[in-house]
Chain A
Amino acid sequence: MATYEFRVNDAAVEFDGDGATPLLWVLREPLNLTGTKFGCGTGQCGACTVHVNGRARRSCITPVASVVDSRITTIEGLAASSDKLHPVQQAWIEHAVPQCGYCQAGQIMATADLLRRNKSPSDADINAELTNICRCGTYPRIRRAVHRAAELLASEESNDA
């Protein structure tokens, strides 16, 4: 047993326990950040997607020992502030994407990472990059919302300029 220190949503946290414990279960149980979901435990469905040092990572197959000193962002910390959602979240609302909603935190985290790397993804880019599973079948709306989020991000950047 050891203590593992890292940052989650800009706060310093520590976990005492087995370093092999997946980050997912550390977030969900001791840290009580339940927005990150358990879907498969094998890194396939993406419901557990978080950002580790700014890149999307499937937290169900990420041992907590591997994120020491890292910056973790979860769905709870994605928005810049409580009164201003992230453009991907805004686009998800505009297109009323969720049905059951269970996978959507992971979908949103994966999309936020994609748009950071590719400001205007094509449909082919979306097909290649977004591999998260949605069991309800919200894919047509996710696709539209990704394009919309890219627009919102572009307009944010031009406003900042």
Chain B
Amino acid sequence: MRDATVTTPRMNRRQLFVSGSTLAGAWIVGIPVTSLLADDGPGDRQLGYFIEIRPDGDVIIGSNQPEIGQGVRTALPMLVAEELDVEWSTVTVRSMPLGLVKTDDGFTWKYGSQGVGGSTGLTRNFDYMRELGATARGQLIRAAARRWEVDPATCRTEPGVVVCDDIAQRAPYAELIESAATLPMPDESPTLKAQSDYRIVGKAQQPVDLEAIVTGKAKYGIDTREPDMRFAVIARSPVLNGRVAKIDASAARGIDGVLDVFEIEGPAPGAPYQILAHGVAVVATSTWAAIKGREALNIEWEPGPNATDSTEQFWADNEAMLNGTGQVVVDDGDYDAAMASATHTVVRRYRVPFANHAPLEPQNCYAYVDGDRCHIIAPTQTPGGASRSAAWATGLDRERIHVDFTRVGGGFGRRLTNDYVAEAALISKRTGWPIQLQWTREDDMRNDFFRPAGLHEMRAGLDGFNNVVAWTQRLASASKYYRRPNMTDDKLWEAELYSDDFPRRIVENLRLEYFNHPIGVPRGSWRAPAHTANAFVIQSFIDEVADATGQDPLELRVKLFGEERELEYGNHGGPTFNPGRLTRLTKFVAEKIDYARERPAMRGVGLAAHFTFGGYAAHAIEVSVNDAGEFTIERIVAAIDCGFAVHPNAVKAQLEGGTVDGISTALGLEITVRDGQIEQSNFHDYPLARIGVFPAAFEAHILPYGETPTGVGEMGIPSAAPALTNAIFAATGVRIRDLPIKNQLRDALA
């Protein structure tokens, strides 16, 4: 939009929205923008607005958030379109770049905060997007009222048209835009629609980009093609925290197309990560030539301090730690006394392994450091973080770094971290060329911020009436808060135990205890972070307590979750947790799968439910087991309560996808370390589940609750795995306590 001239930059009282017109006669509503590289920067120097209505009636809505498959690129524009009152089918969605504005004490967001993680992409923007649409609609009404010389209060809208019934006049929006552009923006907040009046939001809408995806036209980071671009790969240290000792690049330089080979300095052991590893970059005229050049490198590695790390030792250490005393981080009531007076006690240990994010689009980034400025095009969940990573790599002021972000081929938390952006910027800075850095699958498997692994010990004490009166979770793990700036050892547990999770404030005598393991495996946020581990452990343990005390797993859950009430919840997803919503979901999935029906031998149903970052989900899974000890998932019923479902199609998709993710990871996925090296390399030894694992009988249900949406991206995972292992137990009596499941059932039944 080089030709955009903002003619009437009048801020409203929140100093958010302005409107103006373009030279082409379109009306734009959004935010004042002076592009960071407005003069002659690379690419199309972009929209500063969210809404554009053109003289021909086309409506374009800007999308300011990264689309990682969660549907935010559809859901947020749906909110704008709803309040603007236009037909969804007339809307085109266009990507906005990262918008940062320099302030006295740093930077602030130009288009609202941009970044998707923690299932907050929709909820953080829910009010903002609706107010934007409603403000624009109000301006169109005022423009029509002025033309007709009537009170704006006598006008209303139909999709794309302002109507005044009193004088029987109608005006399409396109006829009002010229006038709307001359009106001052209002000082007061717009009135938003009642949800009962919604025509777009809350209804099934076709996702944006659907046709582009199925025709191969959708562009991901990996599809970036810029003039004079060179292609790069990096050989990274195979040993955690290893360094390059010696490089012989003569053979690599002899590969046709190889242009340059040089060392990339990684972080010191223990230092915060900017990039993950030391390495050697190979730059070439094509990706394949770079890969061939890398194969021809002869590198001697200095193994460093983690060369003897192994997951085998990690687990042995964790077992030993749990026999000692850790950091008590929650100690409600009198746990010791309650446990001492319990009629029954149940004690179990569970193991959750390291896991790789494995987005299907391997990490990649385009970077062009051109003198005192830098252009980044990246698949990222956090474009602001990409800007910081590029600033670290180049030493440039962030004002000089322009970040465009593409559709992302899977996020899962991996692309909250922009180490690959820093790498690409380092290579471009060194060579002066526009660079596309490409990771191979092997690179991605071995260099990740893995989901932390942990060994959990659960203990429950029950009184003579089978009420749970004491509960503890003792966790020995490798905290995600590893190598982070400003982190102290006493806070490490906060990433791994969410202190207000179930059964806080439900079981009176509660203790949580943590032990950190210092293994050198990089760790990070893996979709629904600690919830995947803790839901598996807690929801398995409820079934074990039920079994040990002769109770039914459904009845025990209903008893523990109880009636609807708001409990204080201070962790992410708060401020409250209503366990009764889990009761409702659990009963719902149990009824749908006909839980009460007697099953034949070697067939069983498992249940699980969990509260994740503000949203609620439950699973019921039915399995059958054959004579060889192999199990088949016969039926899956999943249900989510995400409050008000803005984009139900995507809500169901996230529930389905989360369920698949949870089951796939539980079945066979584990990252292991030996001699300081990650042992897995590709999908043959990190076997993501294929379609055949999942039955045709796979239902996803939305149970609406109130008018406030929660996020939906992570809620579908946590309860899937324990529902599966609970089903295996129901069918066979074999309890799976260590993930992944792999062949444990077959071995147990042999």
Contact = CB atoms under 8 A, between A and B. Distances in A.
Contact of A136 (B69, B219, B288): B69
Contacts of B211: 85, 93
B340 interface: no
A60 B691 CA distance: 21
Given A29-B286, A141-B656, A99 B69 contact: yes
B664 interface: yes
Contacts of A136: 69, 410, 657, 660-661
A134 B660 CA distance: 10
Interface string A88-101: 01001100111111
A150 interface: no
Interface in A24-60: 25, 28-30, 32-42, 44-45, 47
A100 B664 contact: no
B133 to A, nearest CB: 23
B690 A133 contact: yes
Given A25-B287, A44-B683, A45-B360, A38 B218 contact: no
B690 to A, nearest CB: 5
B410 A25 contact: no
B223 A34 contact: yes
A132 to B, nearest CB: 8
Given A37-B409, A45-B683, A135 B358 contact: yes
Interface residues of A, number: 61
B334 to A, nearest CB: 44
Contacts of B684: 42, 44
A133 B683 contact: yes
B144 to A, nearest CB: 36
Interface residues of B, number: 64
Contacts of B688: 45, 133, 135
B360 A103 contact: yes
B656 A39 contact: no
A101 B67 CA distance: 10
Given A93-B211, A100-B407, A128 B358 contact: no
A36 B3 CA distance: 35
B217 A35 contact: yes
Given A100-B69, A138-B657, A141-B656, A105 B361 contact: no
A140 B656 contact: yes
Interface string B30-72: 0000000000000000000000000000000000000111110
A150 to B, nearest CB: 14
B172 interface: no
B107 interface: no
Contact of B661 (A17, A22, A137): A137
A123 B217 CA distance: 30
Contacts of B102: none
B206 interface: yes
Nearest to A131: B690
Contacts of A85: 211, 214-215
A77 to B, nearest CB: 9
B410 A40 contact: no
Interface in B108-122: none
B346 interface: no
Interface in A120-145: 123, 126-128, 130-143
Contacts of B70: 99
A25 B286 contact: yes
Nearest to B292: A18
24 contacts: A29-B231, A37-B360, A39-B360, A41-B442, A41-B682, A85-B214, A85-B215, A96-B649, A97-B214, A98-B210, A100-B68, A101-B409, A104-B213, A104-B214, A105-B216, A108-B214, A127-B691, A130-B690, A133-B690, A134-B360, A135-B688, A136-B69, A137-B661, A143-B691
**What are the 9 tightest A-B residue pairs by CB atom distance, in nearest-first order?**
A35-B216, A137-B660, A100-B69, A102-B409, A127-B692, A75-B216, A99-B69, A137-B657, A101-B213
Given A37-B222, A39-B361, A100-B360, 20 more contacts: A18-B288, A21-B288, A22-B288, A34-B216, A34-B222, A34-B223, A40-B441, A40-B683, A44-B684, A45-B688, A76-B217, A96-B210, A99-B69, A100-B68, A101-B407, A102-B410, A130-B690, A136-B660, A137-B659, A143-B696
